[in-house]
Amino acid sequence: MNFPVQQAQGPDRIGQSTAVEQSRAVAEVQAAIYVARQFPRDVGRSRASMQAACGSMALAEKAFYKFPRAGGSVEGSTIHLAKTLAQAWGNIQYGVSEMRRDDAYRQSEMQAWAWDVEANTRHVLTFIVPHAKFANKQVQPLLDLRDIYENNANNGARRLREAIFAVVPDFFIDEAEELCRETLAKGDGKPLPERIDGAVKVFQQLGINPDRLEQKLGRPRAQWNGADIAQLLITHKSIDRREIAIDEAFPQARITGSEITSKSNGGRKQTPLNDDPWAGEPTK
C-alpha cells in the first residue's frame, strides 16, 4: 500500500522585516559593484597610501607578531597591517561574525571573509572555535562570557587576517612588510645610543637584564644596530599582547657544573685528586 509523501511545509510568507533586510543586502551588493567599476583603484595611488602608512612608527610597532610553537617561534604580520593594506588597496570589503554559539558543546561557529569588489574575488573562512584555552600544558574550559568573547575575537582576527591577505596582491604585502621593518630599524629619529638605552630600560621594567638581551641578540650591547632594536621592539610588543611569555622569549642561560665549581673557587681550576669520586684518599 502506497502512502502519499507529504512535503514539509515552510512558512507561507516572509515577514516584512526579513523582506526589507533581503532587499537591502541585494541593493548594497549591487551598489558596491557599481561604485567599484565607476571608480577603479589606482595602483600608484594605492602604493603611495601604503608607503605613507608603513613609514609611520604608529603602524610599524603593531605590524608584526611573534609567539612560541613547537619549541621555536612563529613571526608574521598582524591584523592591524592587514586592515591598513585593505584600505590602501581599495575596493575591498571584509568582516568577521559569530554565526552560531552552542553552549551545550562549548563552541562557536564563526565566519571571516574578504571581498575584492572590483576583481570580484572573495575569500571566506568558516571555522569552529572551542570555548577553551591551552594553559599550563592542558586544555582549560572557558566559562566567563567575557573570556569566551575575547577568545572568539582573537580567533576571528587571525582568520580575517588570512582572508584579507588572500585577496591583496603578494607584491603589495611584501613591500609593506619591508617598509615597516625599515621604519622599525630607523626608529623615530632618535640617535641609536639613545634608542638602545630606551630598549634596555623598557626590558628592565619586565625584569630582564641587559645580559639576557645580549644573549638573545648574540652580540654585546656596544655592537647593536637598528635591526636589533627592531627585533627587540617586536618581541616587547608580543609580550605585551601575551603572545609569548618572557621565559620563552628570553630563556635563562644554563650554568654547567664546571662553571659553578670555577666560581666557587674564585675562578681557579680544580684538579681532581682521583678518578674515583668515592675514594677517600688519593692513590700514590
The listed CATH number (3.30.200, 3.10.590, 3.30.390, 1.20.5) that belongs to domain 34-175: 3.30.390
pLDDT at 284: 40
User: At residue 98, what are phi and psi to the nearest 5 degrees?
Assistant: -90, 110
For cell 551598489, name the residue: 31
Q: List Cα–Cα distances, 223 to 49, 227, 259, in angstroms.
A: 35, 11, 26
pLDDT at 262: 53
* Of 65 and 22, more confident: 65
Question: Sorting pLDDT into bands at 50, 70 and 90, what band is 12?
Answer: low
CA-CA-CA-CA dihedral for 83, 181, 154, 85, to nearest 10: 10
Tell me the Cα Rg of the chain: 29
**Lowest-confidence range among 42-46, 65-69, 79-83, 231-235?**
65-69
pLDDT at 38: 82
Whether residue 260 has pLDDT greater than 60: no
Q: Rounded CA gap, 166 and 112, in Å? A: 12
pLDDT at 152: 93
pLDDT at 277: 41
Question: Sorting pLDDT into bands at 50, 70 and 90, what band is 276?
Answer: very low
Per cent of the chain over pLDDT 70 is 80
Q: Rounded CA gap, 105 and 141, in Å? A: 11
Q: Tell me which H or E stretch contains 37.
A: helix 16-38
* Of 179 and 251, more confident: 179
3-class state of residue 3 by DSSP: coil
**Which residue stretches of 69-144 are H helix?**
79-89
pLDDT at 191: 85
Q: How many residues does the chain have?
A: 284
Whether residue 206 has pLDDT greater than 90: no
Q: What is the pLDDT of residues 99-140, one digit of tens each?
A: 999 988 999 999 999 999 999 899 999 999 999 987 777 888
Q: What is the pLDDT of residues 149-198, one digit of tens each?
A: 999 998 999 999 999 999 999 999 999 999 999 998 888 777 888 888 98
Whether residue 98 has pLDDT greater than 50: yes
Q: Rounded CA gap, 101 and 145, in Å? A: 12
Q: List Cα–Cα distances, 13 to 17, 19, 26, 38, in angstroms.
A: 12, 10, 19, 37
Q: What is the mean pLDDT of residues 240-256?
A: 70
**Lowest-confidence range among 89-98, 202-211, 257-266?**
257-266
Q: Rounded CA gap, 93 and 168, in Å? A: 11
For the chain, the domains span 34-175, 190-249
Q: Rounded CA gap, 29 and 116, in Å? A: 12
Q: In whole numbers, what is the pLDDT of the chain averaged over residues?
A: 81
* Cell representation of residue 274: 682521583
Whether residue 25 has pLDDT greater than 80: no
* DSSP-assigned letter for residue 24: H
Nearest to 253 by CA among 218, 225, 204, 205: 218
Q: What is the mean pLDDT of residues 238-260?
A: 67
Q: What is the mean pLDDT of residues 203-222?
A: 88
3-class state of residue 184 by DSSP: helix
Which is it for the CA torsion 97, 100, 104, 107, positive or negative?
Answer: negative
Q: What is the mean pLDDT of residues 42-63?
A: 93
Nearest to 155 by CA among 178, 185, 130, 183: 130
Within the chain, how many helices (H) and strands (E) appear?
Answer: 11, 7
